[in-house]
């Protein structure tokens, strides 16, 4: 900790601000550990505004851990559709099933036990323990590291896993033992709304007088981050193929890997998305030809380590052209697509498709 850091006053300033300014979020109206767990998993990599309707629907559909434990995978993926990072919901269900099996249906209250559950890392463990059970446990994510790096002038490289411990210790030294739940949420809130990455609003910051980097004007030097994550780029050419009965050809992705078990339009991975080249490659791979091919507008989809540049098409096929289809393929109506779990890139394609169909009517 910095010399002369007045921890008591820091807690008072932080918590007073939090109780005055905190956003009214649905998961802040409960201390049910299962609900807090759901919210924390949804909030990973996803903005608060996006999460709210998903959280409300999820809790309404699976109000108890038993309900979630017994849910069908396809139904689960459907309700998660659009949130991305689908392994989160699978792990959440596996974790809940473990709580029922191993912990008699009670979310465990120690870091060791709760961390043994699938999908619960050090941050989520600390968030549930502090928010639901009021235990003084650290919950350090990127927002918290940024606030502490700036406030305590910690120059450990946050892209190195071993640095996390330094921040966890910083939180443990400063956390309020009277109200750890509000304390952790206040730090997260501060990182999300005031001490933001590029433009911290220091003049409105409740802990400005405790902040070392503010005093020196070095806020933007923190946090220190050296390693750049390599992002792979791929060009994807999905085709919404409609037969004469109005149905679309859909493919179920493999059970393992990216977007596992989600449904999508068949696509080609190619560096040449132009129509002529697409048609030739398509014929080679699928063995049938497409007609009335229409080019839709390209868009991007960003995964954590991969960016897809997507060049979508809309085309027709005659059923008589198709000799056979592998078992992961199925023709379904536009309404039936609505029932299948489909990933965000497909939803963006569907939106353009619907507009195109409307224009043609």
Catalytic residue annotation: 40
Identify the residue among 129, 131, 211, 315 touching ligand SF4 (CB under 6 A).
211
Instruction: Determine, following the binding rule CB under 6 A, whether residue 144 of this chain makes contact with ligand SF4.
Output: no
Q: At closest approach, how far in Å is the CB of 322 from ligand SF4?
A: 60
# residues near ligand SF4 by CB under 6 A? 14
Of the ranges 6-14, 59-67, 87-95, 146-154, which one interacts with ligand SF4 (CB under 6 A)? 146-154
Rounded to an integer, what distance in angstroms lies between the CA atom of residue 253 and that of residue 264? 7
The CA-CA-CA angle for residues 218, 190, 18, to 5°, reads: 135
Nearer to ligand SF4, 208 or 309 (CB): 208
Q: At closest approach, how far in Å is the CB of 5 from ligand SF4?
A: 13
Instruction: Determine, following the binding rule CB under 6 A, whether residue 219 of this chain makes contact with ligand SF4.
Output: yes
Nearer to ligand SF4, 191 or 341 (CB): 191
Of the ranges 131-139, 197-205, 242-250, 267-275, which one interacts with ligand SF4 (CB under 6 A)? 197-205
Nearer to ligand SF4, 14 or 51 (CB): 14
Q: At closest approach, how far in Å is the CB of 192 from ligand SF4?
A: 11
Three-state secondary structure call for residue 232? strand
Identify the residue among 92, 96, 151, 152 touching ligand SF4 (CB under 6 A).
151
Rounded to an integer, what distance in angstroms lies between the CA atom of residue 88 and that of residue 80? 9
Nearer to ligand SF4, 128 or 205 (CB): 205
Q: At closest approach, how far in Å is the CB of 189 from ligand SF4?
A: 12
Sign of CA dihedral 251, 255, 260, 262: positive
Of the ranges 194-202, 233-241, 320-328, 345-353, which one interacts with ligand SF4 (CB under 6 A)? 194-202
Instruction: Determine, following the binding rule CB under 6 A, whether residue 349 of this chain makes contact with ligand SF4.
Output: no
Of the ranges 64-72, 109-117, 211-219, 343-351, which one interacts with ligand SF4 (CB under 6 A)? 211-219
Instruction: Determine, following the binding rule CB under 6 A, whether residue 150 of this chain makes contact with ligand SF4.
Output: yes
Of the ranges 201-209, 272-280, 296-304, 312-320, which one interacts with ligand SF4 (CB under 6 A)? 201-209
Instruction: Determine, following the binding rule CB under 6 A, whether residue 202 of this chain makes contact with ligand SF4.
Output: yes
Rounded to an integer, what distance in angstroms lies between the CA atom of residue 139 and that of residue 193? 17
Instruction: Determine, following the binding rule CB under 6 A, whether residue 208 of this chain makes contact with ligand SF4.
Output: yes
**First-to-last CA distance in the chain?**
68
Instruction: Determine, following the binding rule CB under 6 A, whether residue 76 of this chain makes contact with ligand SF4.
Output: no
Sign of CA dihedral 28, 33, 38, 42: positive
Largest CA distance in the chain: 81
Q: For residue 2, how many C-alpha atoms fall within 13 Å in the half-sphere facing its CB?
A: 19
Query: If we measure between CA atoms, which residue out of 44, 40, 53, 62 comes closest to residue 81?
Result: 53
Instruction: Determine, following the binding rule CB under 6 A, whether residue 59 of this chain makes contact with ligand SF4.
Output: no
Strands (E), the chain: 232-242, 248-252, 263-264, 267-269, 291-295, 299-302, 306-310, 313-316, 329-332
- How would DSSP label each residue in 131-199? HHH--------HHHHHHHHHHTT----TTSGGGHHHHHHHHHHH--SS-HHHHHHHHHHHHHHTS-SS-
Residue 68's contacts (CB-CB under 8 Å, 6 or more residues apart) are: 62, 92, 93, 96
Lay out the site mask for ligand SF4 across 104-143 (x = CB under 6 A, - = otherwise). Answer: ----------------------------------------
Nearer to ligand SF4, 145 or 147 (CB): 147
Residues contributing to the site for ligand SF4 (CB under 6 A): 147, 150-151, 194-195, 200, 202, 205, 207-208, 211, 213-214, 219
């Amino acid at each position: 900790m910095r010399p002369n850091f007045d921890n008591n006053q820091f807690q008072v300033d932080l918590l007073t601000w939090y109780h005055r300014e905190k956003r009214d979020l649905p998961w802040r109206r409960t201390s049910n550990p299962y609900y807090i767990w759901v919210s924390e998993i949804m909030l990973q990599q996803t903005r608060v505004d996006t999460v709210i309707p998903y959280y409300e629907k999820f809790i309404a559909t699976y109000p108890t851990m038993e309900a979630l434990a017994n849910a069908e995978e396809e139904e689960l993926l459907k309700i998660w559709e659009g949130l991305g990072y689908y392994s989160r919901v699978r792990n959440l269900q596996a974790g809940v099933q473990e709580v029922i099996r191993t912990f008699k249906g009670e979310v465990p209250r120690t870091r060791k036990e709760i961390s043994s559950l699938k999908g619960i890392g050090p941050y989520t463990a600390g968030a549930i323990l502090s928010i639901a059970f009021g235990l003084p446990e650290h919950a350090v994510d990127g927002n918290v590291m940024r606030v502490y790096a700036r406030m305590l002038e910690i120059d450990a490289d946050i892209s190195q896993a071993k640095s996390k411990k330094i921040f966890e210790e910083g939180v443990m030294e400063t956390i309020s033992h009277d109200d750890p739940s509000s304390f952790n949420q206040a730090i997260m809130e501060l990182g999300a709304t005031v001490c933001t990455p590029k433009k911290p609003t220091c003049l409105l910051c409740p802990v400005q007088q405790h902040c070392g980097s503010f005093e020196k004007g070095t806020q933007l030097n923190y946090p220190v981050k050296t390693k750049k994550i390599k992002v792979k780029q791929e060009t994807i050419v999905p085709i919404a193929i409609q037969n004469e009965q109005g149905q679309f050809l859909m493919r179920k992705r493999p059970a393992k890997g990216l977007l596992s078990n989600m449904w999508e339009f068949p696509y080609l991975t190619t560096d040449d998305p132009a129509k002529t080249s697409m048609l030739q490659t398509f014929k080679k791979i699928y063995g049938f030809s497409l007609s009335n091919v229409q080019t839709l507008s390209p868009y991007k989809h960003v995964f954590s380590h991969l960016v897809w540049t997507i060049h979508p098409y809309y085309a027709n096929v005659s059923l008589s052209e198709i000799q056979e289809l592998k078992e992961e393929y199925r023709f379904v109506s536009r309404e039936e697509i609505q029932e299948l779990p489909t990933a965000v890139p497909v939803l963006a394609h569907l939106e353009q498709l619907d507009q195109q169909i409307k224009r043609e009517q």
